[in-house]
Amino acid sequence: MKISIASDHGGYQLKQMVIDHLKARGFEVTDRGCDVPVSCDYPLYAKKVTDDLTAGDAELGILICGTGIGMSMAANKVPGIRAALCHDVFSAKASKEHNNANILCMGARVIGPGLAMMITDTFLDTKFTQDERHVRRISQFS
Ligand code: RB5
């Protein structure tokens, strides 16, 4: 599975850790920056990942900033993107099962790397239920 990932400066260090974790698990990872932990604008990096998803160049995305809030707001402006801001494992599981989320957002200033890896694993390992009610509700997004 191809995963596109990006962060701003606030999420840079956690992004590098998540990339190492994903590669160790055998995922194909596209790192869309930022490449150095220098102040930058998170919407530009959210767009790189949403572009990968809408172009079919990645199946899932991960976006990390200080809080995860700005990244999720920016990503969810894009039709077809369902970005879920998750800081607990329950939400990560439900975001896939119920909402068929295609981008995981996390805040590096909110949670530590241990929990971030558990959330990431849960997000990647959980499948959409395909239940009719969830399909119907998602179709009502736009
Ligand atoms: C950067 O200081 C910070 O605003 C950003 O990482 C993010 O938290 C925005 O939502």
Q: pLDDT tens digits, residue range 19-55? A: 999 999 999 999 999 999 999 999 999 999 999 999 9
74-117: pLDDT as tens digits: 999 999 999 999 999 999 999 999 999 999 999 999 999 999 99
Q: Is the dihedral of CA 27, 33, 38, 41 positive or negative?
A: negative
Task: Give the chain's length.
Answer: 142
Q: How far is CA 59 from each of CA 1, 72, 96, rounded to the nearest angstrom?
A: 7, 17, 13
pTM: 0.98
**What's the token pair of residue 61?**
């995305």
Q: Which atom of ligand 1 is nearest to the CA of 71?
A: 10
> Cis (ω within 30 of 0) for the bond into 34?
yes
* Interval 61-83 mean pLDDT: 98
Residue 6 belongs to what H/E stretch?
strand 2-7
Q: By percentage, how much of the chain surpasses pLDDT 90? A: 99
Atom of ligand 1 nearest to the CA of 10: 6
Q: Give the orientation angle of helix 12-24 with respect to helix 113-125, to 10 degrees.
A: 50
CA dist 131 and 84 (Å) reads 19
Distance from the alpha carbon of residue 46 to the mean position of ligand 1, in angstroms: 12
Strand order across the 60-65 sheet: 28-31, 2-7, 60-65, 103-107, 83-85
- Round to whole Å and give the CA distance between 93 and 121: 10
Pocket of ligand 1 (CB under 6 A): 8, 10, 42, 65-67, 69-70
User: Helix (H, G, I), strand (E, B), or coil: what is residue 44?
Assistant: helix
pLDDT of residue 142: 80
Among 55, 56, 96, 47, CA closest to 76: 47
| pLDDT exceeds cutoff 90 at 134 | yes
CA of 136 to the centre of ligand 1 (A): 33
